[in-house]
Amino acid sequence: MSLLRFGDPTEDFASKKPRMSSKTSRYLFNNNEMSDVTFVVGKKDETAVRIPGHKMIISLASETFKTQFEGPWNKDEVRIIDFDPSPFLSLLRFIYTDDLIIEEQHVMATLYLAHMYLVWCFLDSFFNLDNLIKCWNKFDRLLTFACTIENEEYINECLAAICIDDDPSRDSFAYRKLSPEALKRICTMKTHTVDDAAIVSVCMAWAKDRCKKEELQTNPTNIRRFLEPLIKHMPFTTMSKRCFNKEVKRTKVLTESEIKHIQKARRRSKEYDVTGKLTLFPPWDPSDDSRKTEWRLQISYEKEVPESSSDDD
């Protein structure tokens, strides 16, 4: 059994939950003494485990349990049939002790359990860069989870971890675990904390790696083949000229027509204060050069930039 210990149990992380004495709550964790609720956890009755709990302590961390304990559904026994005991014990351990210790195979189940019972202090504590790096082989699922619950802070933490994870001691880099759908989610985010050049670099590296996995030559044609679902979403227009030339233009993945469209859009974007991205409108069809397309802002701009602004194109 592989255990992942996250963070320092002496730190409060980002948690703002009310707190009892650390010694008291640690002593009461998984302890029948003064217990006033029992959780029966397991997918099957014959393998279910009975876990003692204390309503007051658990209510401080979970609005869902607090409502349940205070409402007409208040019972001394609570059944949790959709999860194994291990994820629930990891969640309960954090509530009582602030220790983030999770069995590696149960990381995702524990996160979904925390979200189900609205234990936000657990999720806030988990989603930081140092913790996510320890789960480098689960980046795709972590990103999907963050997108599912529509939490941009968590999405940005996943994105930062993906873009900086280049430890050569590992048998594969983080981006190799990503699916095309996950990369598309990254590219289409309205705001993020990672430089656009890093996102493009991750997409290009991912495509090159896919070529190697399928034993294809790493040439522009094959790279383009894997990038095809992503190209119209990649943030080319907000990259600096230097990064665009280095990471994109010289790879010859884009056609001359596409490069001209992007350069035109980048020049236009400098006329306004914008934080969003530009995208082709109508939908881009690279195979049809006869169609008249133009880049339009996805969000409204606020004011014009002074004419003295330089143009790096």
Q: Average pLDDT of 207-227?
A: 91
| Share above pLDDT 90 across residues of the chain, in percent, rounded to a whole number | 25
> What's the token pair of residue 234?
């990649």
pLDDT-derived band at 183, boundaries 50, 70, 90: confident
- pLDDT (0 to 100) of residue 206: 86
Q: Average pLDDT of 205-232?
A: 90
pTM: 0.64
Please tell me whether residues 179 and 210 are part of one structural domain: no
Final residue of a domain: which of 108, 126, 144?
A: 126
Q: Is the pLDDT of residue 281 over 80?
A: no
The domain total for the chain is 3
- pLDDT (0 to 100) of residue 221: 92
Q: Average pLDDT of 164-175?
A: 51
Please tell me whether residues 90 and 183 are part of one structural domain: no
- Burial category of 279 from C-beta neighbours within 10 Å (exposed 0-12, middle 13-18, buried 19 and up): middle
Q: Average pLDDT of 182-198?
A: 75
Task: Write out pLDDT tens, residues 82-137.
Answer: 899 999 999 999 999 988 889 888 999 999 999 999 999 999 999 988 888 788 77
Q: Is the pLDDT of residue 9 over 80?
A: no
Q: Is the pLDDT of residue 298 over 70?
A: no
Please tell me whether residues 270 and 234 are part of one structural domain: yes
Task: Write out pLDDT tens, residues 20-29.
Answer: 556 678 889 9
| Residue type at position 70 | E
Final residue of a domain: which of 79, 100, 126?
A: 126
150: left (phi over 0), alpha (psi -120 to 50) or beta: left
Q: Average pLDDT of 135-146?
A: 80
- Look at residues 218, 230, 212 and name the one whose alpha carbon lies nearest to residue 279: 230
Task: Write out pLDDT tens, residues 229-266.
Answer: 888 888 888 888 888 888 888 889 998 888 888 888 77
**The domain that contains 51 carries what CATH number?**
3.30.710.10
| Residue type at position 54 | H
- pLDDT (0 to 100) of residue 306: 43
Final residue of a domain: which of 192, 218, 235?
A: 192
Q: Is the pLDDT of residue 311 over 80?
A: no
Rg of the chain over CA atoms, in angstroms? 25
> Which structural domain, as residue segments, surrounds residue 264?
195-313
Please tell me whether residues 230 and 148 are part of one structural domain: no
pLDDT-derived band at 226, boundaries 50, 70, 90: very high
More confident residue, 73 or 310: 73
| Share above pLDDT 70 across residues of the chain, in percent, rounded to a whole number | 72
As a whole number of angstroms, the distance between CA 75 and CA 108 comes to 28
Please tell me whether residues 286 and 225 are part of one structural domain: yes
- pLDDT (0 to 100) of residue 284: 43
Please tell me whether residues 5 and 118 are part of one structural domain: yes
> What's the token pair of residue 223?
């790279």
As a whole number of angstroms, the distance between CA 270 and CA 262 comes to 13
Please tell me whether residues 199 and 309 are part of one structural domain: yes
Give residue for tokens 């913790």. 131
Q: Is the pLDDT of residue 19 over 80?
A: no
